[in-house]
Amino acid sequence: MHKKIISICLLTTITLCGCSSRTSFTEDSNKNITTSTSNKPLENNKKDSNPENKADKITDIKTLDVSNLKSTEKNWFYQPKKDGTPSGEPQEILDLINKYSGYYLGDTSKKVIYLTFDEGYENGYTGKILDTLKANNVKAAFFVTTPYVKDNPELIKRMAAEGHLVCNHSENHPSMAAAASDPAKFEKEFSGVEKVYEEVTGKKMPKFFRPPMGKYSEKSLFYTQKLGYKTIFWSFAYGDWDPKKQPTADYGKKIIAERTHNGAIVLLHAVSKTNTEILDSVIKDWKSKGYELESLDKLP
């Protein structure tokens, strides 16, 4: 079925580690979309504040009955705003991610921001980003793939040693909706990263997962939850992912400032020269406006 693009919203393309996903309002049916404007935290944000405790209680997903779950691939999208209110989502998507321990916002009742970086490959900037975070006493989350961990063990050790969360971004960066067609393959996308992370750091990987390219399905969200993970989407991202097409520093600071909101889960790409250059001023601007930057393990 062809997707129907809602005319009131703009179509933007967000690329994660070289792959694209949409961030506009689209729909798989003719139902009207209702945007949530509530400033309350998502309903599922009330339990299980320490997902690492589930490490030894993983379900064997190969034995689960998924016959009633939809396998249709979806692309993560959101409606950005410029008035300081949280980015919107249609209620049907909120209901779906709430059901399967998914987040795109944190606590919207407070001036808090959750800063995250996606790491598909190293472009020479992560060390400087870590320097900036350390100088500003900020903890972030880095979503990494298996090749990234293998190729950059010293950076991974530094992230963990300095109190950042090093989180799961899959073994091979596939569409998780497609991977969910094979439960064994799906689970390997998680366990492969866990294994190399533990070999490098001697620690268990925190149970937060970001679907590559923002591609997911009901089935993939279900499997992710059964593996003990929370799915982390985002309420802010911008065109920062292509090293050859970097936004100007002024543009980067402007769009981040005008779309900042309570409870924002901010996605930046660490391959970005612009992000590296503006990060210090962006963090200082957030703090000057009363925002606190918190780690994902502080999600309510």
Distance CA 212, CA 120 (A): 9
Using CB atoms within 10 Å of the CB of residue 37, give its burial: 0 to 12 exposed, 13 to 18 middle, 19+ buried. exposed
Phi/psi of residue 293, each to 5°?
A: -100, 120
CA angle 42-48-52, nearest 5°? 125
Give the H/E segment covering residue 269. strand 264-269
Tell me the two tokens of residue 85.
């209110």
- Regarding beta strands 215-216 and 74-75, do their DSSP bridges make them parallel or antiparallel, or are they unpaired? antiparallel
Distance CA 168, CA 171 (A): 8
User: Does 269 qualify as catalytic in the annotation?
Assistant: yes
Helix crossing, 218-226 with 183-201: angle to 10°?
40
> Which of the following is catalytic: 107, 118, 173, 261?
118
User: Does 131 qualify as catalytic in the annotation?
Assistant: no
> Which of the following is catalytic: 164, 169, 173, 269?
269
Active site residues: 118, 269
